């Protein structure tokens, strides 16, 4: 079955700097890779996702890159702001499957 490893577990950056969170997956058949953001005391919410026929996807200050050969994908946040402080989860699965396997989470702290 799929296994997803996420690093780092905690990340602290200065406001305005960039943050990068990396995930690796084990199942070469996986082709759907979402990222969820969970603010303190709140529910996880989807912020961006990518399919394996796309190498990169951007949405304003966030972007996700995918390297299918190496089986890893990354979340990039530029010009970080205090509201970016949260726990971020990556996930991977085969599109259409009913199991979404999550990484362990990264607690991102933006320092003013």
Partner 1 sequence: EAQVTQNPRYLITVTGKKLTVTCSQNMNHEYMSWYRQDPGLGLRQIYYSMNVEVTDKGDVPEGYKVSRKEKRNFPLILESPSPNQTSLYFCASSLGGASSYNSPLHFGNGTRLTVT
Nearest-angstrom CA–CA distance, 2 and 18 = 29
Q: How far is the CB of 17 from partner 1 (least distance, A)?
A: 25
State which residue, 67 or 95, has the beta carbon closest to partner 1: 95
- φ and ψ of 83, to 5 deg: -70, -5
Please count the other Cβ atoms lying within 10 Å of the Cβ belonging to residue 66.
21
- φ and ψ of 82, to 5 deg: -55, -35
Helix ranges (H only) for the chain are none
Q: Retrieve residue 82's tokens.
A: 């205090």
Q: How far is the CB of 96 from partner 1 (least distance, A)?
A: 6
State which residue, 9 or 18, has the beta carbon closest to partner 1: 9
State which residue, 19 or 105, has the beta carbon closest to partner 1: 105
Q: How far is the CB of 78 from partner 1 (least distance, A)?
A: 23
Residues at the contact surface with partner 1, assessed by CB under 8 A:
1, 4, 6, 9, 32, 34, 36, 42-46, 49, 51, 89, 93-105
């Amino acid at each position: 079955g799929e296994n997803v490893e996420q690093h780092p577990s905690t990340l602290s950056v200065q406001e305005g700097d960039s943050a990068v969170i990396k995930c690796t997956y084990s199942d070469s058949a996986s082709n759907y890779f979402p990222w969820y953001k969970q603010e303190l005391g709140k529910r996880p919410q989807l912020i961006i996702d990518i399919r394996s026929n796309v190498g990169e996807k951007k949405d304003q200050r966030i972007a996700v890159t995918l390297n299918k050969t190496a089986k890893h994908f990354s979340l990039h946040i530029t010009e970080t702001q205090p509201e970016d402080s949260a726990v971020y989860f990556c996930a991977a699965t085969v599109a259409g499957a009913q199991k979404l396997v999550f990484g362990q989470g990264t607690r991102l702290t933006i320092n003013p």
